Amino acid sequence: MGTPLITLLDASLLGRGSREAFEDESGLRLNFADLEMRSNRWAAWLRQKGIQPGDRLAFFLANRAEVIDLWLACVKSGVIVVPVNILYREREIHHILAETRPAAVVTAGKDAHFFAGARILEVEESAREAGQIPVSSRPPLPREEDPVAALIFTSGTTGVAKGAVLTHGNFAVNGSSLVQTWKFTENDRYLAALPLFHVHGLANGLHCWLGSGCHLRLLERFQAARAEEEFLRYRPTVFFGVPTMYVRLLELPAEAARKIGACLRLAVSGSAPLSPAIHAEFRKKFGTTLLERYGMTETLMNTSHPYDGERRPGTVGPALPHVRIAIRDLQGDEVRDGEEGELYVKGPNVCRGYWNREDATRGAFVDGWFRTGDMGVRSPDGYITLQGRRSDLIISGGFNIYPREIEEFLVTLPGIREAAVVGVADRVRGELPVAYVVSEGPLDENALKEALGRSLASFKCPRAFVRVDHLPRTALGKVQKHLLPPHKP
């Protein structure tokens, strides 16, 4: 095992105590010693609530300082964090609760109703209670060699969401590798707009910050309308985003873009494909070249454009130093450079498997190599170009959508006999879901949208419903989505 996660964090929490560390939109400012103290109090508070090492603690929170407090407190005490996407609704939430059985859920009072039956710890009240605990020392370190840090839900190559079991070691190797590869220093200023419930914001964002001791400004969420003001006031040197955020930033006036670009030494794009056109437009308008990287919840980051070398548009760069990537054909044999195959990943970044899903875990690994489900080719100089996926995953605004989940839900609604969901190209979000349905009578789109909105995250709601007489199927009954009539908006 490499460096423990706590050692990476301690470089700042203990080593840079008096240095300015954090600010948020409410005006809260903290140095690293404050973060150390706050998380010790939260750890003591977890103990008071009877939450033990190895227990799961879920959070359902928009970005706020307490998410960081909780993350640090849980890392220090060996409690397993289950971050829940704030846009999830009844069905997704119910599934995660059933899979992980958390000891408690930390959430805002207004959202408590989504978690009926679970033990709710209301966030404001919890913060007040934790804040009143007399100055507290650290809890004893977890006894296990490489404890589990988080269960993060993703659908992998199948449609059922499963908790990727990510350990302290996974986060530590990912964080320290990115700090070095992307040349973070304590003089950086990182504008954090990604949600902290996914690995892009959590594993990369928080650990590059704490691993380098730079300054972080936390936004509750990315809002295009406020981006110009935020960037010009804070003058970040570093920004991490999904392609949708960069498309939105291209809407800024030229003068603002130039000023922003002049400060921005590192703008990282990931989680969804970045088109070479956006890469070029961004460079022209902001005078800075986007750096693209590729990762997965199960593996954290796998590849990255080099910091100093060529940031080749359309590629995701070579494998990171600690990661091995093999590209294999359907028989499992490695293909030659320039030939397409599926990407397999091996290294200390790869998760232990899926929580309580031995079958899925067995299916995801071949001889210790993790099957990504992503198809790609490698150039002779090691750059990887992704070429789609084995499954029909849709990525919209950087959020993943599994058509099967929506299709299964749609056919439970009255009058819907069959459904097929596909992704259609969209300049801003990358892709948008569209549903083709066979129904008994005319479609009531509003009723469908209302039912979907109650049960599933808003980004999964199809932007259009197309009524068809039948779905094209193979002789074996599998829907041939490529034969559906094209959707005209």
Binding to ligand AMP by residue 405, rule CB under 6 A? no
Tell me whether residue 316 or residue 419 sits nearer to ligand AMP (CB atom). Answer: 316
CB 142 within 8 A of CB 128: no
Instruction: Provide the 8-state DSSP code for 376.
Output: E
What residue 374 binds from ligand AMP, ligand MCA, none (CB within 5 to 8 A, per partner kind)? ligand AMP
Residue among 376, 471, 354 at smallest CA distance from 419: 471
Query: Which of 372, 406, 365, 370 minimizes the C-alpha distance to 387?
Result: 372
Nearer to ligand AMP, 239 or 465 (CB): 239
Pick the binder of ligand AMP from 95, 183, 357, 389 (CB under 6 A): 389
Comparison of 237 and 271: residue with beta carbon closer to ligand MCA: 271
State in angstroms the smallest separation of the CB of 309 from ligand AMP. 17
User: 3-class SS at 73?
Assistant: helix
Residue 460 three-state SS: helix
Give the tokens for residue 239: 């920004």
CB of 168 to ligand AMP, least distance (A): 19
For ligand MCA, how many residues bind (rule: CB under 6 A)?
A: 28
What, of ligand MCA, ligand AMP, none, does residue 273 touch, CB below 5 to 8 Å by kind? ligand AMP
**Using rule CB under 6 A, residue 221 touches ligand MCA:** yes
**DSSP labels, 400-442:** EE-HHHHHHHHTTSTTEEEEEEEEEEETTTEEEEEEEEEESS-
349 lies in the site for ligand MCA, by CB under 6 A: no
Instruction: Please pick, from the candidates 106, 245, 351, 377, the single residue that binds ligand MCA as defined by CB under 6 A.
Output: 245
Contact between 23 and 217 (Cβ < 8 Å): yes
Contact residue for ligand MCA among 60, 115, 190, 399 (CB under 6 A):
399
* 367: its two tokens: 């001889």
d(C-alpha 71, C-alpha 22), whole Å: 15
Q: What is the DSSP string of 288-300?
A: S--EEEEEETTTE
Which of 36, 69, 111, 292 lies at the binding interface for ligand AMP (CB under 6 A)?
Answer: 292
Tell which one of 35, 82, 320, 386 touches ligand AMP (CB under 6 A).
Answer: 386
For residue 372, state whether it binds ligand MCA (rule: CB under 6 A). Answer: no
Please tell me whether residue 458 binds ligand MCA under the rule CB under 6 A: yes
- Is 450 a binding residue for ligand MCA by CB under 6 A? The answer is no
- Segments of 119-173 assigned E as strands: 120-122, 148-154, 162-167
Each residue 140-169 as x (binds ligand AMP by CB under 6 A) or -, in order, gives --------------x---------------
For ligand AMP, which is the closer residue by CB, 248 or 389?
389
CA distance 82 to 138: 22
Tell me the closest approach of the beta carbon of residue 217 to ligand AMP, in angstroms: 24
Kindly list the distances between the CA atom of residue 172 and the CA atoms of 14, 166, 179, 351, 472, in Å, as whole numbers in the listed order: 17, 11, 11, 12, 48
SS3 293: strand
The residue range among 13-21, 123-131, 288-296, 416-424 that interacts with ligand AMP, by the rule CB under 6 A, is: 288-296
Write out the two tokens for 446.
């509003």
C-alpha–C-alpha distance, residues 386 and 395, integer Å: 14
Nearer to ligand MCA, 142 or 241 (CB): 241
- Residue (of 327, 220, 237, 337) closest to 291 by Cα position: 237
In the bound complex, what is the minimum distance in angstroms from residue 147's beta carbon to ligand AMP?
22
Tokens of 430: 């990358």
Element (DSSP H or E) covering residue 279: helix 276-286
Q: Does 177 bind ligand AMP (CB under 6 A)?
A: no
Which residue in the set 175, 205, 295, 317 belongs to the binding site for ligand MCA (CB under 6 A)? Answer: 295
Among 226, 190, 227, residue whose Cα is nearest residue 208: 190
Contacts of 200 (CB under 8 A, 6+ apart): 194, 240, 242, 270, 271, 295, 398
For ligand MCA, the closer of residues 242 and 479 by Cβ is: 242
Q: Please tell me whether residue 317 binds ligand MCA under the rule CB under 6 A.
A: no
Q: Establish if 87 lies at the interface with ligand MCA (CB under 6 A).
A: yes
Kindly write out the interface string for residues 14-53 of this chain, putting x where it contacts ligand MCA by CB under 6 A and - elsewhere: ----------------------------------------
In terms of CB distance, is 273 or 397 closer to ligand AMP? 273
Name the site residues for ligand AMP (rule: CB under 6 A).
Answer: 154, 270-273, 292, 294-297, 316, 372, 374, 386, 389, 400
Name the site residues for ligand MCA (rule: CB under 6 A).
Answer: 62, 86-87, 194-195, 198-201, 221-222, 224, 242, 244-245, 248, 270-271, 295-297, 397-399, 428-429, 458-459
